[in-house]
Amino acid sequence: MGTRRVVVTGASSGIGAATVRLFRLRGWDVVGVARRADRLAALAAETGATVFPADLTVQSDVDALRDFLAASGPVHALVNNAGGAMGLDTVEDSAIDDWAWMFEINVLAVKRVTSAVLPLLRRTIAAEGGSATILTVTSIAGHVAYLGGGGYNAAKFAAHALMEVLRLELNGEPIRVIEVAPGMVKTEEFGLVRFGGDAVKAAAPYENVPNPLSAEDVADTIVDAVERAPHVNLDLITIKPVAQAAPSRLARGSLVVRPEA
């Protein structure tokens, strides 16, 4: 078998860009997918990855991605990483447009891309033997609700359910279905998107939290899971900083050992 090829969505920044970089360091061919062509071009120049600009909420863009992948070589793994949050308003007061966007990018885009790439994974297995992997980055917000989570909780719970059902449906095929659910990850854009570009609000959740996760921490977990022996399926990986016990339970300030009684 030659060089393995992985498709990574949400590749223009944060966890996605870090994942592209690490896969390339590990010798994989990578196709990075995102909306922003300029960011992708810079990532391609830096890493040697192949890039494909696409809006994954648009079916014609996903179809074009599928056709490009089919024409350009085998696909061994898919990392569904594209996602995001909007706002911290209550269920009562939050904007329905924010909910619609969160479902489009966190749930329907995952379904679109998975449906498009799954036949290509099967073709690769048929031609080469071995196995394939579908890994989706969700969130601990898809497992534990929190105040202000509203639409993001609902979308990530749905993404988690999607992966659970997909794993049942693919039972009997050599295709692993893996979910990585990060907790607090400090990236350059997640908070800015959530709070409409307000840098002060975006920075506030991380204030005085010792060592929130980095994009590289999550990328390391993703690549490790994909590179495990093909008979090993890490169904669900929850990764949080030590300072975070739950979505709404964070230690702020230095972590210190409690004195003995």
Which are the catalytic amino acids? 152
Residue 238 to residue 57: CA distance in whole angstroms:
26
Q: DSSP 3-state assignment of 56?
A: coil
Residue 109 to residue 198: CA distance in whole angstroms:
26
Q: What type of residue is 8?
A: V
Residue 235 to residue 164: CA distance in whole angstroms:
9
Instruction: Give burial (CB, 10 Å; 0-12/13-18/19+) of 78.
Output: buried
Phi (first) and psi of residue 149, to 5 degrees: -70, -40
Kind plus residue range of the DSSP H or E element containing 62: helix 59-72
Beta-sheet pairing, 175-182 with 236-239: parallel
Distances (CA, A) of 250 to 52, 193, 240: 38, 22, 11
Half-sphere exposure of 258 (CA within 13 A, CB side): 2
Question: Which DSSP letter does residue 141 get?
Answer: G
Helix ranges (DSSP H) in 88-175: 96-103, 109-128, 150-169
Residue 101 to residue 151: CA distance in whole angstroms:
9
